[in-house]
Amino acid sequence: MPKENSLLNATTIRHDWQIDEIMQFFNLPLLDLIFLAQKVHRNHFEPNQVQLSSLLNIKTGGCSEDCAYCSQSKRFDTDTSDQALMSVEDIVNAAKKAKEKGSSRFCMGTAWRSPKKAIDFAQILDIIKAVKALDLETCMTLGMLTEEQAQQLKIAGLDYYNHNLDTSPDYYKKIVSTHSYQDRLNTLNHIRNAGLKMCCGGIIGMGETIEDRAALLQNLANLPIHPESVPINQLIPIEGTPLGKIAKIDTFDIVGCIATARILMPTSYVRLSAGRTEMSDELQALCFLAGANSVFYGEKLLTTDNPNVEQDQSLFKRLGLQII
């Protein structure tokens, strides 16, 4: 087990992590890694609390990009049907229901490379204002942004912007060809410059190596300010996408990834995201022990299923987790 003085100081927030340091965490016996992560978690958070975010796909399909994991790309033959941008009224009704069921943050996604049409972006600003009026935190994922668009979102009242790095810079080239890793980093810079909070994480199980996972977390942890939310997604293979038949990863891989993310980004909410339908209650409990303290809540993510509300509420009660 690494000497804690050399690798782990629970009171220090670092932005200079090296790959060899991160790999030492990944190479630990899993229970030792969880032990370290739990110590960090308890130094920065109440250990038995979980934050709930609901996610609604407000514009579905027809995306120009070729992200190999995504059913919403128009380049792939999937069962996902295109849907135009939802009305403000329908989105507000969905947000009200999410709040009634316990969500404190309402996240909204669109299948866009970036917002192009002025009329669509104007409606997005109206949506943010309307959801914010419900006393909910607001989060949007609209693809790549310009600096001006990020500033307009902030003025409208947006709290968080989601823009995942997905994987390592090297492996990203095998997952997406229609935009670059730097394009994503540029959007992250615009988000921060506008004063928005950041939701930024990745996906594991796309065929990447452990070193790729370490590099993903390195890029997240070495940002000038750590993302306030770090979603860790497990790939859900979707028929018709290039990754539709990829083999499933070991069930403990996501636990190790969450634990390492918790150590590298001690004050971030680490969100257990896509893939929970494939997890037992016991595996999810292990993820919470490893430092996850947020989940996507509600029966649907963007285009994939999620545990139902009653199932989650039962799990939280059995684990003694308080919803915040």
- Would you give per-residue pLDDT tens digits along the chain (324 residues)? 444 545 565 457 999 999 999 999 999 999 999 999 999 999 999 999 999 888 888 988 888 889 999 988 888 888 877 888 899 999 999 999 889 888 888 999 898 888 877 778 999 999 999 999 999 999 999 999 999 999 999 999 999 999 999 999 999 999 999 999 999 999 999 999 999 999 999 999 999 999 999 999 999 999 999 999 999 999 989 899 999 999 999 999 999 999 999 999 999 999 998 888 888 999 999 999 999 999 977 655 555 556 678 888 999 999 999 998
Q: Kindly list the distances between the CA atom of residue 274 and the CA atoms of 28, 41, 99, 205, 305, in Å, as whole numbers in the listed order.
A: 25, 22, 20, 11, 9
Which among 202, 208, 192 is positioned nearest to 246, based on CA atoms?
208
What top-level class would CATH report for the domain 25-323?
alpha beta
Predicted pLDDT of residue 26: 97
Query: What global pTM score does this model have?
Result: 0.92
Predicted pLDDT of residue 5: 43
Residue 91 CB contacts under 8 Å (≥ 6 apart), including other chains: 56, 58, 108, 127, 130, 131
Helical spans, DSSP H, in the chain: 4-7, 19-26, 30-44, 88-100, 118-132, 147-156, 169-175, 181-193, 210-221, 253-264, 281-289, 309-319
Residues labelled as active-site residues = 63, 67, 70, 107, 139, 199, 271
Predicted pLDDT of residue 81: 78
Alpha carbon 140 to its chain's center: 12
